[in-house]
C-alpha cells in the first residue's frame, strides 16, 4: 500500500507547522524567563497573551508533573518540548506503513487531543486568556488525529482485502 499523496502533504504540513509553533512557544518562554519585560508577537493584549500562558504553571508538564517531581526537575519540561517530540514522532512514524505504526500514531494523537482539551479548558476557565499559538496547536493536533484515523482505516482495509 502506498501512502496517498494528500496524506503525505497533510502530514508534512501539519508536522512542520506543529514544530514551528513548538519552537516559537519555547522561544517565547525562554525569552520571557530571561527578560520579564519581553513582549512576544502573540501578546496582543491583557487577555490575549501567549507568553502569560507559556510561563504559567500549566506551561510546563501540563501543570501536573510538578506534583510528582521538583518544579526545576529535568522531567518537568515546557509543553513545547513535548510538542517537539510529538511532531517529530508523527513525522518519522508517518513514513512507516505498518499496522503497528498506524496504531501508535492514532494512540499518540488521542493523547495529544486529550492534552489539547485539558489545556484549552485551563486556558478558558482558569487563565481566562486566549493564546493564538495554543489554539493553533490544538487545531494541528485534531487534524493529525483525523489524518491518522484515515491511515489506520486504510491499512486495516488493505489487510482485510489481502487476507
Mean pLDDT by 10 residues, the chain (163 residues): 83 97 96 92 92 93 93 92 97 92 96 97 95 97 97 78 56
Q: What is the reported pLDDT for 137? A: 98
pLDDT value of position 157:
76
CATH 1.20.1440.130, applies to 5-162: yes
The answer to pTM > 0.75 is: yes
Q: If you compute the radius of gyration of the chain from its CA atoms, what whole number of angstroms results?
A: 17
- How much is the pLDDT for 2? 72
Instruction: State the cell numbers at 119.
Output: 489545556
Q: What is the pLDDT of residue 71?
A: 86
- φ, ψ of residue 17 to 5 degrees: the values are -65, -40
Amino acid at each position: 500500500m502506498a501512502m496517498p499523496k494528500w496524506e503525505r502533504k497533510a502530514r508534512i504540513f501539519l508536522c512542520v507547522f506543529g514544530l514551528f509553533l513548538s519552537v516559537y512557544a519555547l522561544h517565547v518562554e525562554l525569552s520571557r524567563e530571561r527578560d520579564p519585560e519581553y513582549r512576544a508577537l502573540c501578546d496582543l493584549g491583557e487577555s490575549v497573551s501567549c507568553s502569560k500562558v507559556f510561563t504559567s504553571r500549566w506551561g510546563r508538564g501540563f501543570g501536573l508533573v510538578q506534583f510528582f517531581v521538583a518544579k526545576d526537575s529535568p522531567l518537568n519540561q515546557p509543553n513545547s518540548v513535548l510538542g517537539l517530540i510529538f511532531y517529530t514522532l508523527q513525522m518519522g512514524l508517518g513514513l512507516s506503513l505498518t499496522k503497528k505504526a498506524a496504531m501508535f500514531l492514532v494512540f499518540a494523537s488521542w493523547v495529544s487531543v486529550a492534552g489539547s482539551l485539558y489545556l484549552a479548558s485551563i486556558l478558558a476557565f482558569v487563565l481566562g486568556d486566549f493564546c493564538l499559538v495554543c489554539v493553533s496547536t490544538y487545531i494541528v493536533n485534531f487534524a493529525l488525529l483525523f489524518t491518522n484515523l484515515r491511515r489506520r482505516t486504510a491499512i486495516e482495509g488493505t489487510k482485510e482485502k489481502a487476507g
